[in-house]
Structure 1
Amino acid sequence: MTPPQLAPSTPFAPAAPGAPPRPSPVRLAAVWVLTRALQVLLVSEVFGRVGDGINGEVHRIYRTWYEQLLTGAFPLDDVMWQYPPGAALVILSPALLPGLSYFQAFVALTLLVDALATVALVRAGRPQGRLSGAWVWVAGLPLLLHVPLVRYDVQVTALAVLSLLALRRAPLLSGALAAVGALVKVWPALALLGAPRGRTTRAAWGSAVASAAVLLGVLALAFSHTFDFLRQQGNRGVQIESLGGTLLALARLTGLPTRGAYRVEYRYGAMEFMGPYVSTVAHASLLLTVLAFGWLLLWRVKARRWTPATACDAALCAVLLFVVTSRVISPQYMIWLIGLSAVCMTLRETVLRPVVRLLLVAAFVSTLAYPLAYGQVTSGTVYGCLLMLVRNGLLLWAAVLACRRLWASTVTR
Structure 2
Amino acid sequence: MKKVLYIFIAMILTTTLGFSQSNEYNLSSRNLNKKVRKTIQHYYTYDKNSGGFVKKSVSINSYNDNGYLTESYYLYHSTYSDGSPTKKRYNYNSENQITSIDNVSSKKTKYSTDVKFSYNSKGHVTKKEMIYPDGSKAVDTYTTDNKGRIIKKESYTSKNQLSSETEIRYNGSKRTEIRTSYSTKDGSINGTYTTVYKNDKSVGYTSESKWSNSTSSYVYDKKGNLIKSTSKGKKTYVYDYNYAYDNKDNWVKKHYKSSSYDSFYFREIIFKNGKITGSADFDRNFINRHANYDNVAVVPLKKKSSTTTTTTKKRTTNYMPSFTYKSWTYSFINMNKKVSSISGTVKLDVTDNDRMSVGSYIKLRVKIEGNQETSGKYEVVDYKAQTDQHKWTIRSVTKNVNSTLYIFKEKKTVKGMDILGLLLMGSGEKQITFYLM
TM range (shorter): under 0.3
- Larger helix proportion, structure 1 or 2? 1
Normalising by the residue count of structure 1, what TM-score does the alignment of the two structures yield? 0.22
Question: Which protein, 1 or 2, shows the higher relative CO under an 8 Å CA cutoff with sep ≥ 6?
Answer: 1
Who wins on radius of gyration, i.e. which is larger? 2
Normalising by the residue count of structure 2, what TM-score does the alignment of the two structures yield? 0.21
